[in-house]
Structures are given as C-alpha cells and as structure tokens.
Homo-oligomer: A and B are copies of this chain.
Amino acid sequence: MAEPSTAPGNGETIPAPAHAGEVRAEAPARIQTIALVDDDRNILATLSISLQAEGFATRVYTDGEAALKALLDNPPDLAIFDIKMPRMDGLSLLQALRAQSSLPVIFLTSKDEEPDEALGLAMGADDYIAKPFSQRLLVARIRAILRRSELVRAPIDADSGESLPDTVVRGRLQLDPARHQVAWDGTPVSLTVTEFLILEALAMRPGVVKSRNQLMDAAYSEDVYVDDRTIDSHIKRLRRKFRAVDPEFAAIDTLYGAGYSFADG
C-alpha cells in the first residue's frame, strides 16, 4: 500500500493543500488541524489524505502515549481515536486526556462494539463513528463538532449578542425554529419534523424557488435520497394542514418544472 510521503511517524503536521477539495464558505477560512490516532498506518494514511482533501491539516500518531503528550502540548482543533489500540487504547487515552483538556474527540469503533458507544460518550467523547464509514459521514461529523465547539469558544459576544430571533415572521406565518413551532395568523399548526424542515427552508427565503433537491437537502442528512414525489407529498400535507386553519391558504407556490417557493409578503 502506498504510503504518504513521510512514513507516518508521529506528529508531523501535514498542511492541507491550497485548493481545498470542497467548497466551504463560512468564516475567513482558518485551516483547522485534526489529530489522528490509530495503530493502523494504512488507515492513518487514507484518513489523512481524505481530510486534507477536505481542507483540514492533519497530524498522525500511531502511539497512544506519544499522542497524549502531543495533544496536551500542542492541541489540534479536534482528535480522532481508534478505540482499539495496542499500548494505550482509545478509552484510556480519552480518560487521560479529559483530565486536562476538553479537546473535541471522535471515536472510531468497529461494527461489533455496541456497548462502547455509550461508554465512550459517557467518558466524554463528542461523537463516535462505526467502521467502516464513508468519507462523507466522517467529514460531516467533524464539521458539526467543530462548529459546535467554535460556538462555545466564541460565546455570546457582547451582552446584546444572544439576539437569536426566537420566532421568524413571514407575513401571516410565524415560525419558531428553536421550538419547531409554527402558527398561521397566530393559530398554531402542528407539523412533523420533516414538514417543519421543508417549510422552514421555504419560509427562510420568501419568493426564492427551491428545487426538490434543495428541499431534500434541507430536510435530510446528505446521504439520504428519497423520491422527488416524496417532497410533493410533504408539500401536500403542509398545504392541507394550513388549509385546515385557513381555507384560503395559498402561501406555498408551485413553480412548474422548477420547485416550490414561499409567497413573498
């Protein structure tokens, strides 16, 4: 198996390539570093390449103790441990790490290790992923966790900062993302999760046409695909529920051949 340029020894930081493979806008792109700890060098190499392609810098360790030291000394933004490792396994490593650090950690587990999940999470891992897994899933989890920890780290700036608008109002629609609650002219309408997500995607950008694919993206995780008509079904039920409250309801427009949109106020 081809090895990465340098033998995956311990701790070299491999910068991400300049043109990160995937597009990610967000903040003024600071390259984030991820530490990988696993005894299998092939896995390390593959993971490393994948993550670099996604725009992360990586640091790899095959030895738990060495890793621990480095993680404390010069913490990355996130660490990924294999649960099973020879000298010092992932759980012990996490335990030792947690004594001094709150670094975000993702566990890798083999399929046949159900109980470890609970255990790992209880011990303070931020997430765990069962092998084998897709690159897509891993990257999604990583980004989710990094986003979360950034929010914590950069807490509610000024006092005024907490200004997350509780409810979004779009004409006669009131929508409360935090509570998953919706009302029309003040009358509450009870929606299922999927319905809510689709409505939210539409209502957040009134007038903008959302294709069925875009709505799927809003309502489902990235690795799920459902039939286009399924979106239609949800729209159907949304309309029905709103019509039950207001027979004249017509705020969800169909754009033949394009998708749906929420009527501008």
Interface, chain A (partner B; CB < 8 A): 1-2, 21-23, 25-26, 40, 42-43, 46-47, 49-50, 53, 91-92, 95, 98, 102, 109-111, 115-117, 119-128, 131-136, 138-145, 147-148, 150-152, 155, 157-159, 161, 178-181, 192-193, 204-205, 207-209, 211-214, 216-217, 222-226, 228, 255-259, 261
Contacts and interface: CB of A to CB of B under 8 A. Distances in A.
Contacts of A147: 213, 216-217, 225
A222 to B, nearest CB: 5
Given A1-B91, A127-B223, A145-B223, 6 more contacts: A25-B258, A123-B134, A128-B134, A136-B145, A144-B222, A193-B256
Contacts of A214: 151, 155
Contact of A123 (B110, B115, B135): B135
Contacts of A135: 123-127
